[in-house]
Amino acid sequence: MDDSPTMTDPAALLEEHGDYLYRFALSRLRNEDVAQDVVQETLLAALKSRPNFDARSSERTWLIGIMKHKIADHYRKTSRETPMSDLESPDEAVDGRFNFVGHWRGSPAEWSAAPDTLVQEKDFHRTLRGCLDKLPGKLADVFTLRDMEEMPSEEICEKLGITPTNLYASLHRARFRLRECLEYNWFGKTAGKGSSR
């Protein structure tokens, strides 16, 4: 058990980790109010379970682990309240880019930036979050859980109450729409400076 001041003082815990936790939650939940709620739930859970913290990891790593569970709980709850229509309906924007045998009708643009460089740029994260905000709710949830949280497919299907077929079709649609949005808003002629489409 860690008896450090931040582990026993709620104000110190919030002061030291609150901003980081909020940014982490906001990047995954795309809603300021929900992100604030999840931070509060995370900090309350941490204070209640602080006797179980054995300092094998840093406080922040431990808090992020708790937060990931809270985010998954949020998705599980909202998946029961959100209609499945955005997962099941045809997507003309995606389907129109391929011919009848599934090949591109014109190739997508080349991305010249290295992924490891992009993940360090705050402006890129802001643009990605803007693009995620434009996705229908379920598509954004599926992308976030699979590609950002790296949650196993079976667990996503269980939490969101969807089939593996829905999951893979939704991932395809979400990635395609995000690619188009990022091409326009980040990789275009005014890379990183474009307004969200």
**Residue 33: CATH number of its domain:** 1.10.1740.10
Tens of pLDDT, residue by residue over 128-179, are 888 888 888 888 889 989 988 888 999 899 888 889 998 999 998 898 888 8
Residues 63 and 139 in one domain: no
Closest to 149 measured CA to CA, from 41, 71, 87: 71
Taking the CA of residue 36 as centre, how many other CA atoms within 13 Å lie in the half-sphere pointing to its CB? 2
Q: Which residue has the higher pLDDT, 76 or 1?
A: 76
Q: Are residues 65 and 19 in the same domain?
A: yes
Residue 197 belongs to some domain of the structure: no
Q: How many independent structural domains does the chain possess?
A: 2
**Within a domain: residue 190?**
no
70, 121: one domain: no
**Is residue 154 classed as helix, strand or coil in its secondary structure?**
helix
Crossing angle for the helix pair 59-81 and 10-29, nearest 10 degrees? 50
166 located within any domain = yes
Question: Tokens 């058990």 map to which residue?
Answer: 1
Which phi and psi (to 5°) does residue 188 adopt? -75, -165
Same domain, 125 and 180: yes
Asked if 59 and 108 sit in the same domain, the reply is no
The answer to whether residue 195 is domain-embedded is no
Asked if 55 and 132 sit in the same domain, the reply is: no
Q: Which residues pair with 98 in a beta bridge?
A: 104
The residue ranking higher by pLDDT, 33 or 114, is 33
Residue 46 and residue 99 in one domain? no
pLDDT at 39: 93
65 and 132 housed in the same domain: no
